[in-house]
């Protein structure tokens, strides 16, 4: 799944490859997945995209926002699937659910495997979007300090009884973290995913802040996880400390076997010694 490091990598590559290119056509597949988040009015893709030029792209949490010269914004992300650049002479993937063609014949292709967004929105529509428009602080912004994280932990009163796993993967609390990076963040912070938000003391909050910043920064530097691919189909260089490959293997810190648990609708990987249950 695309999370902030993958979104940052793809946005950078889109700037290098697509900035200044004029859009000549857009195709939306008729057999697109049920949970492909697309414009209700498919005519929006022609009226809002064709003839425009991509000015710049940037990551926003798990999303990629591409500003167009005439005002609308191309929104990609929150996705299980792939975002690819296909050169003029190359064949499209067998499944291409959204295709933007440029004046040089190159194409930007979205292939969605479970769910994902491929929308063109006005700035006002983006602000009202239930996910992309409701972003918490980004770990890559200078404003994301320990105090900023503590404010989010304290002021989101509806989260006061919820576990830290649920808090971190909600875009409105901290932008761009999903289950992929969550495992390493909690391991580095020495926190169980079951730890309730109010139970995390000041030292735990400082560890959590450092773990978020260090993990996301390192992953961006390495172009995302090795299980995800960039705009050109190349895997990232970040190898998670904890994922399905670590289950049953010794903890790199203490040697205790890494456990896999099912929690809050997904798998978690943890060291029961370094991340004791509450």
What's the CATH number where 224 sits? 1.10.8.50
Q: Domain for residue 133, yes or no?
A: no
Residue 259: its pLDDT value, please? 97
Based on the fold, state whether residues 266 and 167 are members of the same structural domain.
yes
Q: Domain for residue 141, yes or no?
A: no
Q: What are phi and psi of 79, to 5 degrees?
A: -125, 135
The alpha-carbon radius of gyration of the chain (Å, integer) is: 20
Based on the fold, state whether residues 117 and 178 are members of the same structural domain.
no
Residue 158: its pLDDT value, please? 77
Q: Domain for residue 139, yes or no?
A: no
Residue 158 CB neighbour total at 10 angstroms: 6
Q: How far, in Å, CA of 69 to CA of 140, rounded? A: 26
Based on the fold, state whether residues 170 and 247 are members of the same structural domain.
yes
Q: Domain for residue 15, yes or no?
A: yes
Based on the fold, state whether residues 230 and 184 are members of the same structural domain.
yes
Based on the fold, state whether residues 32 and 103 are members of the same structural domain.
yes
CATH number of domain containing 120: 3.20.190.10
Of 128, 158, 190, the domain-final residue: 128
Q: Domain for residue 16, yes or no?
A: yes
Domain range for 216: 146-270
Residue 21: its pLDDT value, please? 96
Phi-psi category of residue 131: left, alpha or beta, with phi > 0 → left and psi -120 to 50 → alpha = alpha
Q: Domain for residue 136, yes or no?
A: no
Number of domains in the chain: 2
Based on the fold, state whether residues 97 and 185 are members of the same structural domain.
no
Based on the fold, state whether residues 178 and 73 are members of the same structural domain.
no
pTM: predicted TM-score of the whole model, two decimal places:
0.94
Average pLDDT per run of 10 along the chain, which is 278 residues long? 96 97 95 88 95 96 95 90 94 94 97 90 92 90 95 80 92 93 98 94 97 98 97 97 97 97 91 94
Based on the fold, state whether residues 189 and 119 are members of the same structural domain.
no
Report strand pairing: 73-77 vs 63-68.
antiparallel
Of 82, 102, 128, the domain-final residue: 128
Based on the fold, state whether residues 58 and 20 are members of the same structural domain.
yes
Residue 7: its pLDDT value, please? 97
Q: Domain for residue 137, yes or no?
A: no
Residue 115: its pLDDT value, please? 86
Residue 90: its pLDDT value, please? 96
Based on the fold, state whether residues 171 and 260 are members of the same structural domain.
yes
Of 128, 162, 178, the domain-final residue: 128
Based on the fold, state whether residues 165 and 264 are members of the same structural domain.
yes
Residue 156: its pLDDT value, please? 67
Based on the fold, state whether residues 216 and 153 are members of the same structural domain.
yes
Q: Domain for residue 108, yes or no?
A: yes
Q: How far, in Å, CA of 113 to CA of 85, rounded? A: 17
Residue 207: its pLDDT value, please? 98
Q: How far, in Å, CA of 195 to CA of 210, rounded? A: 17
């Amino acid at each position: 799944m695309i999370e902030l490091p993958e979104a940052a990598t793809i946005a950078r590559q889109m700037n290098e490859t697509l900035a200044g290119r004029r859009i000549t056509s857009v195709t939306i597949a008729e057999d697109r997945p049920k949970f492909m988040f697309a414009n209700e009015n498919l005519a929006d893709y022609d009226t809002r995209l064709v003839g425009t030029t991509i000015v710049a792209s940037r990551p926003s949490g798990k999303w990629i926002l591409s500003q167009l010269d005439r005002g609308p914004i191309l929104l990609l992300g929150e996705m299980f699937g792939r975002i690819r650049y296909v050169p003029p002479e190359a064949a499209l993937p067998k499944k291409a659910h959204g295709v933007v063609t440029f004046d040089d014949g190159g194409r930007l292709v979205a292939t969605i495997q479970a769910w994902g967004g491929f929308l063109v929105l006005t700035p006002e529509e983006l602000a009202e979007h239930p996910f992309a428009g409701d972003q918490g602080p980004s770990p890559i912004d200078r404003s994301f300090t320990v105090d900023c994280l503590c404010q989010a932990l304290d002021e989101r009163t509806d989260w006061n009884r919820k576990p830290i796993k649920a808090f971190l993967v909600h875009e409105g609390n901290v932008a761009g973290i999903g289950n992929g990076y969550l495992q390493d963040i909690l391991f580095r912070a020495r926190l169980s995913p079951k730890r309730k938000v109010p139970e995390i003391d000041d030292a735990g909050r400082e560890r959590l802040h450092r773990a978020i910043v260090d993990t996301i920064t390192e992953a961006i530097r390495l172009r995302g996880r090795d299980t995800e691919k960039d705009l050109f189909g190349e895997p990232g260089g970040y190898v998670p400390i904890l994922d399905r490959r670590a289950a049953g293997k010794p903890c790199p810190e203490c040697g205790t076997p890494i456990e896999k648990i099912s929690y809050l609708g997904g798998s978690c990987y943890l060291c029961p010694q370094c991340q004791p249950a509450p």
